[in-house]
Chain A
């Protein structure tokens, strides 16, 4: 029997006030795929990711997360076992030591008292240590999170995601606040982790080159529509160039709009 698709979107649309963030679109994402979402700012990448994560309800259409509608996966362990998400701004608790930020990925599995006790005597330390060494910062385990650099913080966020161990990793612009070298390092770790543990990965990116290099399937969004959607090996340089023009247009439109305002 074929495994259920990880995500199934059928005529899913979302608008904020008068502006459509996502035109009704349909999409199937199989288990184990690594997908890059590319497109200019405002193309709907973040909206799409948040819909996949069950954080936003679409206005129209149906979403199925491994066969379940998002309403059947309330916030808590039921949802956190299916999907986990990391953001551009890391969103860690800066005041806590690294280890508790990593172990926060276990909160869905722990009882309240176990999680409270863990703040005094950390639970599942081996798990946290293993996750941190996979992202190369095991030595920072007891440091206060606010003392880490941006790249290190994003690795902690990745370690938290891997400790959470959801079936699908979602990443919203995970590298856009990092410098090019660290961005590439992080993408290597993220994709390797996803492939080794057979996770579905959907990440939004600004750079088409990075998308081509590290992901198997590219979905380009433009004005809330799917511009193209195919495997990375089938994308030629013309289409890439098209994406660049797309980005330039968007910038022109943005600057025109801000000029008006």
Chain B
């Protein structure tokens, strides 16, 4: 027994040494002289860093930033709202809490879990390309592209949280005569509401970042403005838009803290 442990420790050391050697060797595979930074690359980096402290605050840029932020926020909000509407029924079915017999529960829960998996397996950017190809450059493309993978994520979490609800209070409701549906609205949902809301708010934050990225596809918003400013080498403007993005995320975070405090106390 002791010998085996000794051997295992030995093996681990050997593997670690091999991995370190592989890393050192891989460094030699990089051509350090050229290619890492293109000509003028260092110059560009210095400019970008310099602009960090002097964002463009001219009225025109600010106005542009506000409009773009508004659009990004609108995409994110509509997208997540649609995602919640989809995730609620799908997640409840995927959790199987409404089923009475295991013979029904296993296949239905499996089917809905699979469906949720399919929805979130494809990244929102890929969904965006698909929807732009299908319905063109309209806000609907952005909203659907956000809603589908986010519904997949939210639904999965909803199902997991519902499955983890403590049994005893539910048994008590059951013995006071509650049906499965009544159990859902008087037991499962109130018990898990605080967790659900804080996770959904976190996902709303993620949706804002995703909505910004979405606009690289050409759907407008903060990402689109950042892209244009970068192409024009207007780094001061780039930072203005990035700061607006950060501000949006911070605001959502504050709101979510407020909500959570209200729910937990």
The reply on A109 being an interface residue by CB < 8 A is: yes
Q: Which residues of A contact B168 (CB under 8 A)?
A: 87, 89, 91
Complex CA gap A115/B184 in Å reads: 11
Complex CA gap A80/B188 in Å reads: 20
Q: Please give me the 10 A-B residue pairs with the lowest Cβ-Cβ distance, nearest first.
A: A108-B177, A80-B177, A91-B172, A107-B178, A95-B190, A91-B168, A91-B169, A164-B176, A107-B182, A112-B181
B174 — nearest CB in chain A belongs to which residue? A75
Complex contact B190–A93 (CB within 8 A):
yes
Q: Which residues of A contact B193 (CB under 8 A)?
A: 95
What's the least CB distance linking A140 to chain B, in Å?
Answer: 16
Complex contact A95–B191 (CB within 8 A):
yes
Known A-B contacts A95-B191, A95-B193; A75 and B175 likewise in contact (beta carbons under 8 Å):
yes
Complex CA gap A55/B167 in Å reads: 14
Q: Which residues of B contact A85 (CB under 8 A)?
A: 172, 175
**Per-position binary interface string of chain A over residues 205-216, scored 1 when its CB falls under 8 Å from any chain B CB and 0 otherwise:** 000000000000
B166 — nearest CB in chain A belongs to which residue? A91
Q: Which residues of B contact A157 (CB under 8 A)?
A: 172
Complex contact B176–A160 (CB within 8 A):
yes
Complex CA gap A36/B191 in Å reads: 33
Complex contact A77–B177 (CB within 8 A):
yes
Complex CA gap A110/B185 in Å reads: 13
What's the least CB distance linking B98 to chain A, in Å?
Answer: 12
> What total of chain A residues lie within 8 Å of the partner, measured CB to CB?
36
Q: A76-B179, A112-B182 are in contact. List 7 more A-B contacts (CB 8 A).
A: A55-B171, A80-B176, A80-B177, A91-B169, A95-B193, A108-B178, A144-B265
**Using a CB-CB cutoff of 8 Å, which residues 156-192 of chain A contact chain B?**
157, 160-161, 164
Q: Which residues of B contact A115 (CB under 8 A)?
A: 178, 182, 185-186
The reply on A100 being an interface residue by CB < 8 A is: yes
Give chain B's interface residue range (CB within 8 Å of chain A).
Answer: 20 to 34
What's the least CB distance linking B223 to chain A, in Å?
Answer: 39
Complex contact B179–A112 (CB within 8 A):
yes
The reply on B97 being an interface residue by CB < 8 A is: no
The reply on B248 being an interface residue by CB < 8 A is: no
What's the least CB distance linking B216 to chain A, in Å?
Answer: 41
A93 partner, pick from B177, B181, B186, B194, beta carbons under 8 A: B186
**Using a CB-CB cutoff of 8 Å, which residues 78-114 of chain A contact chain B?**
79-81, 83-87, 89, 91-96, 100, 104-105, 107-110, 112
Complex CA gap A105/B187 in Å reads: 13
Complex CA gap A62/B148 in Å reads: 54
The reply on B173 being an interface residue by CB < 8 A is: yes
Known A-B contacts A100-B186, A107-B182; A91 and B176 likewise in contact (beta carbons under 8 Å):
no
Known A-B contacts A76-B179, A95-B190, A164-B176; A119 and B185 likewise in contact (beta carbons under 8 Å):
yes
Complex CA gap A55/B187 in Å reads: 19
Q: Which residues of A contact B176 (CB under 8 A)?
A: 80, 84, 104-105, 107-108, 160-161, 164
The reply on A71 being an interface residue by CB < 8 A is: no
Q: Which residues of A contact B173 (CB under 8 A)?
A: 93, 104, 107
Complex CA gap A144/B178 in Å reads: 21
Q: Which residues of B contact A76 (CB under 8 A)?
A: 177, 179
Q: Which residues of B contact A80 (CB under 8 A)?
A: 175-177
Q: List 8 A-B contacts (CB under 8 A).
A: A85-B175, A86-B172, A93-B190, A96-B186, A105-B176, A107-B182, A115-B182, A119-B186
